[in-house]
Amino acid sequence: MSADAAHAGLNAVRARVDAFVADAERAQAPHLKCGAACAMCCKVERAAFAVEVDSIRRWLVEHPEVRASAQTRPRRSDRCAFLNDDDLCDVYPVRPMICRTHGPAVRVDEALAWCALNFAGLSVPEVEAAVPASSVLSVELVNRMLVVVNTQFVEAAGGPHRVALREALADAVESSS
């Protein structure tokens, strides 16, 4: 299995998750505060599966203007390396799965979990009652699919299984020089 095949697998998982999350956002919309005005979940240094970070690297190689602007940003522990000065994601089309699933309530180890900014004022039983079961993404299922494609990628390309997102920028700069 080649690294390119692992990337094709990643794109297939992304398409499934994006479609599910779009439906979940519609179903849970009355309780969600997510939108362009909120970037709280990006105000952290992130890591992701190696295949996801390599996907960002590839995208940055093809987008020198984004790479150049990200390069000039000072490193901060309280912001993702790809959160720009307008609080927007510079690598949105290739953002990691964790970023794609933020917002609607999801299931983690059989329990519902959600961003503290959403479902304002609702108790756990009230959230459980408000959220259609068919709109709840299983994080475990997504991770299982990701682990499969990531293992294929690491076997083909080598390196660690988890990588800091910031590494994508350094590697893209190196690949492009």
Residue numbers of the site for ligand SF4 (CB under 6 A)?
Answer: 33-34, 38, 40-42, 46, 80, 82-83, 89, 91, 95, 99, 102-103, 115, 117-118, 165
Residue 43 sits at the vertex; the CA angle it makes with 131 and 165, to the nearest 5 degrees, is: 100
**CB 1 → ligand SF4: shortest distance, Å?**
26
Query: Considering the complex, what minimum distance in angstroms separates the CB of residue 94 from ligand SF4?
Result: 8
Which lies closer to ligand SF4 via its Cβ, residue 66 or residue 156? 66
Cβ-based nearer residue to ligand SF4, 38 or 156: 38
Distance CA 166, CA 177 (A): 18
Burial, 164: exposed, middle or buried (Cβ in 10 Å; 0-12, 13-18, 19+)?
middle
Nearer to ligand SF4, 3 or 60 (CB): 60
Tokens of 92: 């949105």
Output the smallest distance, CB 141 to ligand SF4, in A. 20
How far apart are CB 93 and ligand SF4 at their closest, in Å?
A: 10
Whole-number Å distance between alpha carbons of 118 and 98: 17
26 vs 33 by CB, closer to ligand SF4: 33
Closer CB to ligand SF4, 9 or 104, in the complex: 104
**From the CB of residue 122, how many other CB atoms can be counted at a distance below 10 Å?**
15
Q: Minimal distance in Å, beta carbon 80 to ligand SF4?
A: 3
Rounded distance, CA 147 to CA 96, Å?
13
Are the CB atoms for 16 and 162 separated by under 8 Å? no
